[in-house]
Amino acid sequence: MARSRLTSRMRRGSGARSRYVVLALIVVVGSGAAAGDEIASATPPPLLPLAEGNRWVLRDTRGPSTATIAVVRRASGLVLRGLPGAGDLRVRARGRAVEAWDSGSGRWEPFLRLGAPAGTRYAVALSDAPLWRSLTVTVASRTAVVRDGRGRTLRNCVRLKLVARKPVADAAVEELVLAPGVGFVRIVEQTIAGTRVRVLSGLRLR
C-alpha cells in the first residue's frame, strides 16, 4: 500500500514537472516570436535622409574638384540643391521614395523610387530640371557595394541607372548610388570632357 501511494505521488510530481516544462517552452517560443516580429517590423534607415541642413560632398575621382548637394528649407518646403542638372528641386519623402514638385504640371512627380524592387523601370519628367525632363530610370541593384572617397565600404546600396529619352548634348546623369542611412555615395555623369565619377568624401546629417 505504501509503495502504491509513493508511485502515485511520483506520477503526480512528474506530471506537474511536465506541465512546467511545457509552459516554459511556450514562454520562450512566444518571446522569440515577439522579438522576431519586432525585428521584422523595424523601419529600415532611409536611403536619402531628407532633413534641413543635411549635406553631401562628393569628390571627382580624377581630380581634387568637389560638388556639394544639400537640403535647405524654404517657405514652400524642403529643397534639394546641387544635384547635377536638377537645379533647386523641391522634394518630399513618400514612403521609401522621393517625389519632386514640377511646376509645369503643377503636381508631385516620381523622382527617386528607392523602395522599388530591382529591375523596376519608371519615367521621370521634370520640366524645371534640364537633365531630368525625359528620363527612364531603372533600379539596377538593391545590393550594390560601393567604396566611398573616405575608404569606407558601403553595402546594400541602391543603384539607379538613368537613360535620357531625349539626349542633351554632352550632358547627362547616368548613375546614382545611395546607401542606407547615408544618402548619395556615387554619381556618374556624362560631360563634354568625358565621364565624370564622383564619390562621397564628406557628410553632415542631422
Residue 79 has a pLDDT of 97
Number of C-alpha atoms within 13 angstroms, CB side, residue 122?
17
Residue 144 has pLDDT above 70, yes or no: yes
pTM for this prediction? 0.77
Whether residue 31 is found in the same domain as residue 122: no
- Does residue 154 form part of some domain? yes
20 three-state secondary structure: helix
The mean per-residue pLDDT over the stretch 135-163 comes to 96
Residue 192 has a pLDDT of 83
Calculate the dihedral angle through the C-alpha atoms of 143, 145, 146, 150, rounding to the nearest 10 degrees. Answer: 120
Q: Find the helix or strand (DSSP H, E) in which 195 lies.
A: strand 194-204
Mean pLDDT in the chain? 83
The pLDDT tens digits of the residues spanning 75-111 come to 999 999 999 989 899 999 999 999 999 999 999 999 9
Domain containing 35 equals 1-42
Whether residue 92 is found in the same domain as residue 18: no
Whether residue 65 is found in the same domain as residue 139: yes
Number of domains in the chain: 2
- Does residue 50 form part of some domain? no
Whether residue 80 is found in the same domain as residue 169: yes
- Does residue 49 form part of some domain? no
Residue 168 has a pLDDT of 67
Percent of the chain with pLDDT over 90: 62
Residue 113 has pLDDT above 80, yes or no: yes
The pLDDT tens digits of the residues spanning 5-53 come to 544 444 454 454 444 333 333 333 343 333 333 333 468 899 999 999 9
Q: State the Cα–Cα distance between residues 179 and 160, nearest whole angstrom.
A: 12
Whether residue 143 is found in the same domain as residue 178: yes
- 139 near 160, Cβ under 8 Å? yes
- Does residue 47 form part of some domain? no
Q: State the Cα–Cα distance between residues 177 and 25, nearest whole angstrom.
A: 46
pLDDT bin (cut points 50, 70, 90) of residue 66 is: very high
Residue 33 has a pLDDT of 36
